[in-house]
């Protein structure tokens, strides 16, 4: 791959995340290539090549299911008309080609700007990255606040890499984040959604969550959740988020699948309880959840997009919570057959683990799934309205009261 570009007369290197990961002993997720060849020239060398992107034009070379991303060396843009820059400093288009060294300087963090030369097996470092790898430091290339203004998503990337690589963020790189965080509101909500998935599905979600809060960036992504956590210190809803993120990390490390719907359902559970307050007494529970979910999602969608298939599933996870209380007649079997039972049950277990519903309820459902029909019949409750001990109703409790 690199050698084909070289034979065609173009310098080409492995670059970015894969070189960094190899140097710190991690397995790279994918391989990126950087070359002097322009996208059209890359396309001329490889039949299996497609050009993509407008803001940032790239060549994708397909090998079966693998895709290798080939980017042309970029330069900073000095002359007008070469790139499009918004008045607040954001770069809207970035297709000015340059040299390898210029390409290194326009990358975000030093450790992401290393080039691996497959001809002499050397690592080329233009920005002092090796020293930062040694000391496990994440350092912005250039003047941090300018670089964040060019692309505010770099603030989220700082947190993501610090968490994932277990690096510390160098002080000058940290410093502007709190002040500039608000610039994320101008980023298209679909890009924020993509970035969110990278933040929380990179096997370091718990640490990421703590860092997002530390730098006051959670406010930019999930303002309603952030408010809820700030107003309700150590709430069960926050513990539920942490438990679900720990779960996500474990699943990803074991190579199991995860769904963004679950992440969003957990993250927005606190605001959901707040929306539900006062509603549950007036209308049936399922209706209250529906209305609350509508209102909440309308607000959240102003910040991050959530593709419809995931928002539908989130609603189902929430909605089914009210049905776990119904443990008589045919209802438990009907619930078991619901396509979203598994996700909703996992959510119930989390709620039980953080003390939001009795542990007995989750255990009952665990047992009910596992035993045969005769035993299941014995487990059924006589009615769904058992006498409740009078306790101060909490928001969390209201949701299970029909």
Q: Residue numbers of the site for ligand ATP (CB under 6 A)?
A: 16-17, 29, 32, 107-108, 112-113, 151, 153-154
- Residue 151's binding partner among ligand ATP, Mg ion, none (Cβ under 5 to 8 angstroms by kind) is ligand ATP
- Cβ distance 155 to 215 under 8 Å? yes
Closer by beta carbon to Mg ion, 112 or else 220: 112
Residue 21 among the catalytic residues: no
Closer by beta carbon to ligand ATP, 114 or else 395: 114
The catalytically annotated residue of 108, 125, 132, 249 is 108
Closer by beta carbon to Mg ion, 12 or else 268: 12
- Cβ distance 110 to 173 under 8 Å? no
CB of 85 to ligand ATP, least distance (A): 14
Structure tokens at 233: 């210190």
Structure tokens at 356: 């939001």
Rounded to 10 degrees, the C-alpha dihedral 240/242/243/248 comes to 120
The H or E element that residue 85 is part of is strand 84-85
- Eight-class DSSP state of 7: H
Cα 298 to chain centroid, rounded: 20
CB of 273 to Mg ion, least distance (A): 37
Closer by beta carbon to Mg ion, 193 or else 264: 193
Structure tokens at 362: 């989750």
- Residue 57's binding partner among Mg ion, ligand ATP, none (Cβ under 5 to 8 angstroms by kind) is none
- Residue 112's binding partner among ligand ATP, Mg ion, none (Cβ under 5 to 8 angstroms by kind) is ligand ATP
List interacting residues with Mg ion (CB under 5 A).
17
CB of 69 to Mg ion, least distance (A): 8
The catalytically annotated residue of 30, 166, 294, 384 is 30
Cα 281 to chain centroid, rounded: 35
Residue 120 among the catalytic residues: no
Radius of gyration of the chain (CA): 25
CB of 203 to Mg ion, least distance (A): 15
Chain residue at closest Cβ approach to ligand ATP: 17
Q: What does 257-295 look like in DSSP terms, one character per residue?
A: ---HHHHHHHHTHHHHHHHHTTTTTTS-HHHHHHHHHHH
Residue 234 among the catalytic residues: no
Catalytic residue annotation: 30, 32, 108
């Amino acid at each position: 791959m690199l050698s084909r570009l070289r034979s065609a007369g173009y310098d080409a290197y492995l670059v970015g995340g894969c070189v960094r990961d190899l140097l710190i002993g991690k397995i790279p997720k994918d391989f990126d290539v950087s070359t002097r060849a322009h996208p059209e020239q890359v396309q001329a060398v490889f039949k299996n090549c497609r050009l993509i992107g407008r803001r940032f034009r790239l060549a994708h070379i397909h090998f079966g299911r693998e895709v290798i991303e080939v980017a042309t060396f970029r330069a900073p843009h000095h002359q007008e008309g070469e790139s499009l820059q918004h008045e607040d400093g954001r770069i809207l288009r970035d297709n000015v080609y340059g040299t390898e060294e210029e390409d290194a300087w326009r990358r975000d963090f030093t450790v992401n700007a290393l080039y691996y030369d497959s001809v002499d097996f050397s690592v080329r470092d233009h920005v002092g990255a090796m020293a930062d790898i040694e000391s496990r430091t994440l350092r912005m290339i250039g003047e941090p606040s300018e670089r964040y203004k060019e692309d505010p998503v770099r603030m989220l990337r700082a947190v993501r890499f610090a968490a994932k690589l277990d690096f510390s963020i160098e002080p000058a790189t940290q410093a502007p984040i709190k002040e500039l965080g608000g610039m994320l509101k101008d980023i298209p909500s679909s890009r924020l959604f993509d970035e969110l998935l990278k933040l929380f599905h990179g096997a370091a979600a718990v640490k990421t969550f703590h860092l997002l809060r530390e730098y006051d960036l959670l406010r930019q992504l999930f303002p309603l959740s952030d408010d809820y956590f700030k107003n309700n210190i150590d709430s069960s809803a926050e513990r539920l988020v942490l438990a679900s993120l720990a779960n996500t990390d474990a699943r990803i490390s074991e190579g199991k699948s995860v769904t963004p719907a679950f992440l969003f359902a957990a993250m927005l559970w606190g605001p959901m309880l707040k929306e539900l307050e006062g509603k549950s007494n007036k209308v049936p529970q399922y209706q209250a959840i529906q209305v609350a979910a509508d209102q909440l999602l309308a607000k959240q969608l102003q910040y991050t997009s959530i593709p419809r298939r995931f928002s539908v599933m989130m609603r189902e996870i929430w909605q089914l919570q009210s049905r776990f209380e119904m443990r008589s007649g045919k209802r438990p079997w009907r619930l078991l057959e619901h396509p979203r039972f598994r996700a909703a049950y996992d959510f119930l277990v989390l709620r039980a683990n953080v003390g939001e519903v009795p542990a007995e309820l989750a255990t009952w459902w665990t047992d009910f799934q596992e035993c045969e029909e005769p035993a299941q019949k014995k487990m059924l409750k006589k009615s769904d309205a058992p006498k409740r001990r009078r306790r101060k109703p909490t928001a969390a409790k209201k949701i299970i009261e029909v």
